[in-house]
Amino acid sequence: MPIQQTSEFIQGFELFNAGHYWHAHEAWEVQWLQRNGNERDLLQGLIQTAAALVHWSRGNPKGLLLNWHKAAPKLQAALTWVDFLDLQHVIVTMQALVDDQAKHPPQLRFVSASDPLCNQH
């Protein structure tokens, strides 16, 4: 089953967008442990982004920066193959947050009209 159709991915997606970053991390970790290759790296990047936002929400800029610097290369690499999420939005918004140029964290967005989940979010 494609990663974006798993219940854990969808649950993490919804939790992330609701601002429940730690719980999103936990939901994605289930799939992260079962995947390999590119999908595993994508999930690790999303998990590290969620961890960065846990630190951001607690007012810990050092934790935000450290976790984002781990996540960013993984999400950047995923741009070459992920066609179901707007990762560019996540990367740009997270970098602006790190640079103190944004006040709000990114929202995950499905981008493919052919994706069966697109109509749910």
- The answer on pLDDT for 14 being more than 50 is yes
Mean pLDDT of 24-51: 97
Q: How many CA atoms lie within 13 A of 83 on its CB side?
A: 6
Q: How far apart are CA 73 and CA 31, in angstroms?
A: 20
| pLDDT at residue number 44 | 98
pTM of the model: 0.90
Res 116: pLDDT: 47
Domain locations in the chain? 3-114
Q: What is the largest CA-CA distance in the chain?
A: 39
Name the fold adopted by 3-114: Hyaluronidase domain-like (1.10.3450)
The pLDDT tens digits for 67-86 are: 999 999 999 999 999 999 99
Q: What's the whole-number mean pLDDT along residues 63-67?
A: 97
Q: Three-class SS of residue 53?
A: helix
Tokens of 18: 């609701």
